A and B are shown apart, each in its own frame.
Chain A
Amino acid sequence: MTHYLGVDLGSTTAKTVIVNDTGRIVAAEVVQMGAVSRASLARAMTSALEAAGLDESEIAETIATGYGRRLVPGAGRTFTEITCHARGVAAMCPGTRLVIDIGGQDSKAILVDELGIVEDFAMNDRCASGTGRFFEVLARAIECDIGELADLALSGNRDLEVSSMCATFAETEIISLLARGERREDIAASVHRAVAARTLGLVAQVGRHTPVVMTGGVARNAASVHFVAQALDVPVSVPDTPQITGAFGAALLARESFRGHQIEADGQAGTHRAAPPPDCATCDPAHAGMDPGPDGRPLIPVRPR
C-alpha cells in the first residue's frame, strides 16, 4: 500500500503525519525544536516512519506546510497552513464550516466548504493581539505554568477590563490588576475573554458560520475554547488531536496530488477520507500506536529536543 507524508513545520514544533491509501492516519509525531532546523525536522520525519513501521521509500509523496515549509527536503510541493488546516479539519470533523486557529504568533479564521476547500480566510499575523502570545504574557505576569492557565481561567468569575490591543501594554494592565489585589483566576479569565473578543473580530471578517472547530496549539487550552465559544455564542468543537490537523491536511493533499487530484464531489468522497470518518464527539483514535491519556483521549507523544 502506498503512503503519504505531511509535514507541518511551525516556529518551535515539527508535526509529521503519515496516512495510508485510504487516508487513514498511521503515524503522527510532534517534535519540540529549539528553532526551525533541518536536524529536528529529520528527527520528526524519522520517528513518524518508525512509528508506522515504514521505510522512506514507501512514501509516495510528501507535502510540507507551516512557517518553515520551504526547508523540508524531499517535499514535492508546499501548501500554506491555511489550506492544510482546512483540509485536515474537514477530514477529522466532516461538515465543519469555520476553522479557528489561534497560534503562538498568529491567528486565523478559515471558512471551509464541504470538500475542505478554503472559501475565505482572515489572518492576524502583524501583531500579537489575539494570539497565544497573550497567554504567555499572562502566565509570566501571574507566575504560573502555561498548563495551569486553563484551570485558573475557568475558575474566574469577575469581568475585569483588559482592553489593550497590545500584548506589551496588556502586561502592564495585568500587573496593575495584581497590585490592586485582583485574583489570579479573575485576571486569567479576563485575558482569555479579551483574546476571545479579538477572535470574534477575526471571525467577523469571514462570517460566523457553523459548525465551528478550533485547532492549533491554543485549542488544547480548554479555557480558551470555552471563552471563544462564549464570545461567538455557538458551540465550538476541538478535534482530539488539534496539533496535527495541519500535518494531516498536508498528508491528505499529498495523497490527492499523487492520485492526480481526483476529488469527487459526491458521496464517494467519504471513502477517500479517513475510515471510519472520525466524529469529534466520540473521536475514535484510529491512530496506530497512540496511548490514551488519563481522560481516555489519545495523546500524541511530544518528543523533547
Chain B
Amino acid sequence: MDTAVTDRSNRLSVTKLGGKMVADYWANVFTARERGEKVVWYNGSAVNPFFQAAGLVWCHGEAFSARLAAQHLEQPAQLAAQEYGYVGELCSYARTHLGCAVLTQNAGHANGTGIVGLPEQAELASRLPAPDFFVNAYAGCSTGQQWDDISFRVFGKEVPIFNVSLPFLWGNKPDAGYLIGEEWEQASRYVVGQLHELVRFIETMTGRPFDWDALRQNMAYIKQASQLRREAMALCAHAPTPATFWDWITSIAHINFLPASQELVDYFAAVKAEVEQRLAEGVPAVRDERYRVYFDGFMNWNKLGFLARKFAAHDVAVIAGRYTHQAFWQEPHLIDPENPITGMAQHYLLCPTNHGAKTIKHLVLRDCEQYGVDGIVFHSTRTCRAFTNPQHLIAKAAQRELGIASMFFEGDVADASFYKDEILESRLAAMLEGIDVRRARGGVVPV
C-alpha cells in the first residue's frame, strides 16, 4: 500500500536534466513536418545511428508507448486500438503504438462514432507525424517483426517499408554460448549483410549517398556513452548501492534513441560522476538498504515512480535488471568506431529476448552474483511473452544453483489494468521474510 508519506527512494538527480533532453527530442519529432524533414518509424533495435547519419527524424514506436504510459496518457491510444479491433491481450506496446497510428492516420477524418473524443484525437494525432517510411529491425520477438507490417497496413500500405532480419540466437550447436560459437559468428555476418542492404534502402529513400563518416562519428559517441553507463552500473556492486534499476530505466531513452552527440556522452559522464560522488559521500539510493534484488522482466511503465517508492519503502534496493543491463549497447568493447557495422550487428542480436533460456540464465545468474543479490523479482509481464519465456526456468535455476529466492508479480509493460498490487505486496513481503530467516540461520544478522 503506497501511503508512505516519506519517500525512501533517492533517485539520481541527474535524471532531471536527462528528462529535458528526452522532452526536447520528442518536441523535435512532433515538429518534423514543419521543418520539412523526413520521418522514419521503427521499433526494437537501435538502428537510429543510421537514421541520424542520413539526416532523418526517427521515431521509435515502443519508446512513444512507454512515454505515454509513464505520463499516464496511454488511455486514448489504447482505446483507439481497442476500437480498431485489437484484442486486449495483445502486446500493449504494439497496441498503444498502433492506437497512435490509427489516430494519426485518421487525423482530420474523425467520423464521430469513435470512442476517443475529438479533442483527444486531435491532440494525439498531431503529435506523431506520419512516417515517410518504416524500417523493421526486431530481434527475438516475432510480434516485433509483424508489428511494423501492421503499422504499414494501418497507413494503407502507402509508404515503403524495409525489413532487417535478425536471427534468433537459439544455440543449436554444443559450442554455442554468449558471444561465442559458430552460430554467433554466422548470425553476426548475416546481420552485417542485412545492414548493408538497409543502408542501400536509406539511400533510396533520401536520394543521397550514405554518410559513413557520420555513422562512425555517431558510433564513437555511443561507444563512449555506453562505456560510461556500464562503468557507472558496475559501481552499484557496492553495498549500499548508489543507484538503482529505476535510475537505469530513466536513462534508457538516452542510450536507446537520443541523438549520438557530445551531449549524450556528457550526460552519462554526469551519471557516472553522481554515482561516484554518492559512493564517496556514502549517500545510498535507498535510505535503508537491507535487501538487494534483481528485477527480471519488462519495465512496468505505468508504475515507474510508484514502484521505485514501493521497493524503497520495504528497504529493498533493486540493483540491476535484465532489461537495463542486458540491452542498449551493453557490450561497447564490440564496437569499433572506425568500422562499426559488425559491432552494431552484434548488438542487435544481443536483444535481451533474443537468446535461449540457457544463455539468459547464464547472464542473469552472473549479474546476481556480481551485484550480490538476495532475491529476484520477476515481473510476469502479461502481454510480453518474449520476456517472460524463460522466467520460471531461471527462477528454479537461481534457487538451485545460487540459493537465491524469487517471486513473481503480475503487471504489464503499458496496460495499467493488468497490474495487481496485492500480489506484489504480499509476495514481496514473503520473500523478504524468507531472506531474513535464511540470514538468521546462516548467522548473518539482518542489516
Contact = CB atoms under 8 A, between A and B. Distances in A.
A/B touching: CB–CB < 8 A: yes
Contacts of A166: 420
B422 A173 contact: yes
A233 B120 CA distance: 13
A165 B421 CA distance: 12
Contacts of A204: 79, 82-83, 115
A201 B82 contact: yes
A214 to B, nearest CB: 16
A176 B1 contact: yes
Nearest to A180: B3
Interface in B212-268: none
B417 A164 contact: yes
A169 interface: yes
A163 B416 contact: yes
A201 B418 CA distance: 15
Interface stretch (A68-76, A205-213, A260-268, A282-290): A205-213
A200 interface: yes
B88 interface: yes
Interface string B407-418: 000000000111
Nearest to B417: A165
Nearest to A171: B422
Q: Which of A163, A166, A203, A233 is packed against the most chain B CB atoms within 10 Å?
A: A163
A203 B421 contact: no
B417 A200 contact: no
Contact of A163 (B82, B88, B419): B419
B114 A208 contact: yes
Contacts of B418: 165
B1 A164 contact: no
Nearest to A98: B113
Given A163-B416, A163-B417, A205 B79 contact: no
Contact of A208 (B115, B419, B423): B115
A201 B79 contact: yes
Contacts of B85: 205
A169 B418 CA distance: 10
Contacts of B422: 169, 172-173, 176
Contacts of B1: 176, 179-180
B421 to A, nearest CB: 7
B209 interface: no
B420 A200 contact: no
Nearest to B118: A233
Interface in B80-107: 82-83, 85, 88
A274 interface: no
Nearest to A172: B422
Contacts of A169: 420, 422-423
B66 to A, nearest CB: 18
A207 B113 CA distance: 6
Contacts of A176: 1, 421-422
A201 B88 contact: yes
A128 interface: no
Interface residues of B, number: 19
Nearest to B75: A197
B108 interface: no
Contacts of B446: none
A171 to B, nearest CB: 10
B416 A203 contact: no
Q: Tell me what chain A mostly uses at the interface: helix, strand, loop, or mixed.
A: helix
B117 interface: yes
A200 B80 CA distance: 11
Contacts of A54: none
A139 interface: no
A173 B88 CA distance: 21
Contacts of B117: 233
A123 to B, nearest CB: 14
Contacts of A207: 83, 113-114
A233 B116 CA distance: 10
Contacts of B82: 201, 204-205
B102 to A, nearest CB: 11
Nearest to A181: B3
Given A173-B421, A180-B3, A208 B79 contact: no
A65 to B, nearest CB: 28
A173 B2 CA distance: 12
A73 B115 CA distance: 43
Q: Which of A163, A180, A203, A204 is packed against the most chain B CB atoms within 10 Å?
A: A204
Nearest to A233: B117
Contacts of A179: 1
Nearest to B117: A233
B18 to A, nearest CB: 28
A208 B421 CA distance: 32
A232 interface: yes
A164 B418 CA distance: 6
Nearest to B85: A205
B186 to A, nearest CB: 44
Contacts of A165: 417-418
Contacts of B88: 201
B113 A209 contact: yes
A230 to B, nearest CB: 12
A250 B416 CA distance: 40
Contacts of B3: 180
A180 to B, nearest CB: 6
A232 B115 contact: yes
B417 A203 contact: no
Contact of B115 (A163, A173, A200): A200
A205 B3 CA distance: 37
Nearest to B416: A163
Contacts of B423: 169
Interface in B392-447: 416-423
A161 to B, nearest CB: 8
A302 B45 CA distance: 63
A164 B420 contact: yes
Interface string B100-138: 000000000000011101000000000000000000000
A203 B115 contact: yes
Interface of A: 163-166, 169, 172-173, 176, 179-180, 200-201, 203-205, 207-209, 232-233
Given A164-B419, A204-B79, A209-B113, 7 more contacts: A164-B417, A180-B3, A200-B115, A205-B82, A207-B83, A207-B113, A232-B115
5 contacts: A163-B416, A169-B422, A201-B79, A203-B115, A207-B83
User: Top 4 nearest A-B pairs by Cβ distance?
Assistant: A204-B83, A207-B113, A172-B422, A204-B82
